[in-house]
Amino acid sequence: MLQAIGVGSVQEIFDRQIPEAVRLQRALDLPDGVGEQAVYEHLRTLAARNTSAEDELSFLGAGMYDHYVPALIDMLTERSEFLTPYTPYQPEISQGGLQVMFEYQTAISELTGLPVSNASSYEGPSAVAAAGYLAKLHNGGRRFVVSAGLHPHALETVRTHAHGYGVEVVEVALRDGVTDPEQWARAIGPDTSAAIFAQPNFYGAVEDAASLSAAAKAAATGEALDAAGGPPVVVAQVDPMALGILKPPGECGVDVAVGEGQPLGNRLDFGGPSFGFFAAREEYLRRMPGRIAGETVDVDGRRGFVLTLQTREQHIRREKATSNICTAQALNALAGVVYLAWLGRVGIVELGELMLARTHYARERLAGLDGVEKLHSQPVIREFALRLDADVAAVKRRCALDGVNPGVDLQALTGRGEDRGGLLVAITERRSRADIDRLAEVLGVAVAAERGPAAGGSSIGGPAPLADEAVSV
């Protein structure tokens, strides 16, 4: 090979191209390589030092949920034909992947009640930020009005991105667990680019999505609006698993529905990779971010699929692109559409009703414990917030000794003073009545132990001692 190239050594190829001053003159300071078996043992040892949902009775949620992932998803996503190609730049040899995208878009469109979907976004919170960018391109408004019921990671991600594209973010507080309708309407004006809320919201509450959408459109009216470039784009961050029973965003006046796709057949993976979904009304089609598959025919008239509307995209439009997305989450979206086919038209409703019933049972059961109350009384579907009359971190540590993870420490995640004592409990089809009863038993004992005078407990609503350890999320 060297002879064909016309060099004496491989090193010579480098020496002739890289200036000596920027060549690394030593070996990298990394351990030596080892064989497959040794790597496996090392990674297995690290895995064993994590307490996964397999190792404890977990009620963690807050954006990612421990749903059962059917075996056929592993089998299909591990197939070389889906696992190892790249973005379908050559459609003639990528019909499998392109058809998956087309089917995925159809499923997301059905789920959200919105006519157009992209082929996936990175994940939930950055999809919310991407929806904001779409709104900014669409109407040029200078402000996002965002419900405090948005996932705190989404809220922070929107702020990070909006600072880049020069949009101010205004937060609307919650009242009794849902977005305060008066403050919402007041905050939205002619310069509002997007009005963004979550459904159900971060605290588990079902929002009155139709009213929030209508209020957003109504609040921004008048002459000033005409000058501003149009009404705000109403964006909802939606839990896809709730959409078997919940009124779809498209029927609630929502313009763009985005969200975290992990519940749909993707494993937890400590937070990723998963996928974000992004669906919208027709008028936003040419401003959508990311890849979109479209149907067409080949020279012989056969049905086929291609990446389409590519004039939106970075590799064609460069600085004028509607987003910078190149690689998205095709494999995770495949898991998503296979999961939706596996659940099916009837199953997704059954699963929604099951979560609804069990969540209601769990909420009432836990709120009946001494020192535990509901944080709000709004309808909930798969997750609910409680307030403990005890330090949440300490309660969680006690529960852990009994192999139970009772949920997410709300204040640790949101940093909000009013969330002190808050616990967010998630229910999936994997948590049976017996599991919920076990949680009630363990949580009751732990709260009782932590609220005793010796434990430095406090009365509900009063100041509670701060957690004695660093925030751990």
Positions 46 through 75 that interact with another protein (CB under 8 A): 46-55, 58, 60, 62-64, 66, 70, 72, 74-75
d(CA 388, CA 369): 10
DSSP code, position 287? G
Q: 275: closest CA among 427, 57, 125, 431?
A: 125
Binders of another protein among 413-442, rule CB under 8 A?
Answer: 413, 429, 432-434, 436
Per-residue tokens: 80: 């070389």
Q: Would you count residue 31 as binding another protein (CB under 8 A)?
A: yes
d(CA 177, CA 410): 13
Query: x/- binding map, residues 289-328, to another protein, per CB under 8 A?
Result: --xxxxxxxxxx-xxxxx-xxxx-xxxxxxxxx-xxxxxx
Size of the site for another protein (CB under 8 A): 203
CB of 462 to another protein, least distance (A): 25
Asked if residues 258 and 277 have their Cβ atoms less than 8 Å apart, the reply is yes
CB of 461 to another protein, least distance (A): 25
Per-residue tokens: 345: 């038209």
CB of 226 to another protein, least distance (A): 26
Query: x/- binding map, residues 174-203, to another protein, per CB under 8 A?
Result: ------------------------------
CB of 82 to another protein, least distance (A): 6
CB of 178 to another protein, least distance (A): 12
d(CA 240, CA 99): 21
Q: Is 303 strand, coil or helix?
A: strand
Give the residue with the Cβ less far from another protein, 220 or 369: 369
262: Cβ–Cβ under 8 A, 6 or more apart, which residues?
Answer: 63, 64, 65, 123, 124, 268, 274, 275
Binders of another protein among 88-107, rule CB under 8 A?
Answer: 88-97, 99-100, 102-103, 105-107
Q: Would you count residue 4 as binding another protein (CB under 8 A)?
A: yes
Strands (E), 309-353: none
Give the alpha-carbon dihedral of 69, 75, 78, 80, to 10 degrees.
-150
Binders of another protein among 205-224, rule CB under 8 A?
Answer: 206, 208, 210
Indicate if the alpha-carbon torsion angle 284, 381, 241, 388 is positive or negative: positive
Locate tokens 């016309």: which residue? 6
Q: Is 158 strand, coil or helix?
A: helix
Binders of another protein among 382-401, rule CB under 8 A?
Answer: 396, 400
Which of 337, 390, 440, 448 forms a contact with another protein (CB under 8 A)?
337
Region of 34-42, 215-223, 368-376, 439-447 interacting with another protein (CB under 8 A): 34-42
CB of 67 to another protein, least distance (A): 11
Q: How far is CA 454 from CA 353, 373, 390, 451, in A?
A: 43, 22, 12, 8
Which of 42, 221, 229, 463 forms a contact with another protein (CB under 8 A)?
42
Which of 8, 39, 226, 229 forms a contact with another protein (CB under 8 A)?
39
Per-residue tokens: 406: 């009772």
CB of 233 to another protein, least distance (A): 17
Give the alpha-carbon dihedral of 336, 339, 340, 346, to 10 degrees.
-160
Asked if residues 265 and 338 have their Cβ atoms less than 8 Å apart, the reply is yes
Element (DSSP H or E) covering residue 386: strand 383-388
Give the residue with the Cβ less far from another protein, 225 or 246: 246
CB of 410 to another protein, least distance (A): 11
Region of 118-126, 219-227, 440-448, 457-465 interacting with another protein (CB under 8 A): 118-126
Per-residue tokens: 104: 């995925």
d(CA 233, CA 146): 12
Region of 45-53, 140-148, 171-179, 455-463 interacting with another protein (CB under 8 A): 45-53
Binders of another protein among 222-281, rule CB under 8 A?
Answer: 243-248, 251, 260, 267-273, 275
Binders of another protein among 155-174, rule CB under 8 A?
Answer: 156-157, 159-161, 163-166
CB of 366 to another protein, least distance (A): 13
Q: Would you count residue 361 as binding another protein (CB under 8 A)?
A: yes
d(CA 66, CA 242): 14
d(CA 231, CA 223): 11
